[in-house]
Amino acid sequence: MKTILRTENVVKNFSGLVAVRDLSFEMAERNIHALIGPNGSGKTTTINMITGAFPVTSGRIFYGDTEISGMPTYQIARLGIGRTFQNLKLFHSMTVMENLMVGGHQMMPAGIFRFLVDPAKSRQEEKQVEEKAKQVLDFIGMYDLKDEKVSSLPYGRQKMTELGRALMMDPKLLFLDEPAAGLNPSERVEFVNIMLKTFDLGIDLFLIEHNMDVVMNICSRITVLNFGAKIAEGTPDEIKNNEEVIKAYLGNRYQAEKA
């Protein structure tokens, strides 16, 4: 099995405060990998480091065989790493369609000069991206809402828009930061279904999630963080029975419920 993502002794300091300490893990290809842990354990920081939003303090991160630590965010994204954000980062003044089309911006390589002198070419490019956006909208079940302003949509739909925007750039690996947070049960089921459909398209998923139902049911591998350090890694079953994880995160109640 090939590794798609590997971190080596990654450390992140925020002016003296250690957010992530000495984190090493691997993610194999064709996997749904989850990163779990209590609040403030460094999960989002880890994703931010992998996607280049924060520089690492020390350590190395590899995507396939390429070292991506130290690269700017947009280059990492161009390698095929997409992401969604914990607190939605949408383009609020725009419609759903436009949000998705920004996600597909990289599909349109023509420069500004070419654009000004060759309207036909630019129209053709625009058409292509529009087609693609329509496909993605179909895929996430939001075709009817394509001309709505994102800011007027309910939270669940906004989350879906963000997923759609990430899908527009044909990622190989998709990071989802708390995809189920804030969704009601039926929205959650829908989101999980779309995540599984996405996985079936050949996109590997890496998620941070607090909802244990989601994590235990769809993930094949789980890494557990506590105070910025890895305390366990394994299959859902292994994690469920790991004493340290139960103590630090899942709690005794989860153990009791399970039994």
In the three-class reduction of DSSP (H, G, I as helix; E, B as strand; rest coil), residue 83 is classed as: strand
Quick one: which segment of 101-109, 194-202, 219-227, 231-239 binds other proteins (CB under 8 A)? 101-109
- Residue 194 as a binder of other proteins (CB under 8 A): the answer is no
- Residue 87 as a binder of other proteins (CB under 8 A): the answer is no
- Residue 115 as a binder of other proteins (CB under 8 A): the answer is yes
* Alpha-carbon span 108 to 243, nearest angstrom: 51
Decide whether 11 or 102 has the Cβ nearer to other proteins: 102
* Alpha-carbon span 1 to 31, nearest angstrom: 10
How many helices and strands (H and E) does the chain possess? 11, 10
What's CA 199's distance to the chain center, in Å?
12
Q: Which of the residues 218 through 257 are near other proteins (CB under 8 A)?
A: none
- Of residues 85, 191, 206, 249, which one binds other proteins by CB under 8 A? 85
* Alpha-carbon span 247 to 140, nearest angstrom: 38
- Of residues 8, 22, 26, 125, which one binds other proteins by CB under 8 A? 125
For helices 155-167 and 119-139, angle between their N-to-C axes, nearest 10 degrees: 130
Quick one: which segment of 33-41, 74-82, 205-213, 251-259 binds other proteins (CB under 8 A)? 74-82
Number of residues that bind other proteins (CB under 8 A): 40
What b/e readout covers 181-192, taking b as 16+ CB neighbours within 10 angstroms? bebeeebbebbb
Kind of pairing, strands 173-177 and 204-208?
A: parallel
- Of residues 108, 181, 229, 231, which one binds other proteins by CB under 8 A? 108
- Residue 89 as a binder of other proteins (CB under 8 A): the answer is yes
- Residue 168 as a binder of other proteins (CB under 8 A): the answer is yes
- Residue 113 as a binder of other proteins (CB under 8 A): the answer is no
Instruction: Judge whether 205 and 195 are in contact, CB under 8 Å.
Output: yes
Residue ranges in contact with other proteins by CB under 8 A = 51, 53, 72-75, 77-78, 82-83, 85, 89-94, 98-99, 101-103, 105-106, 108, 112, 115-116, 119, 122, 125-126, 129, 149, 151-152, 165-166, 168-169
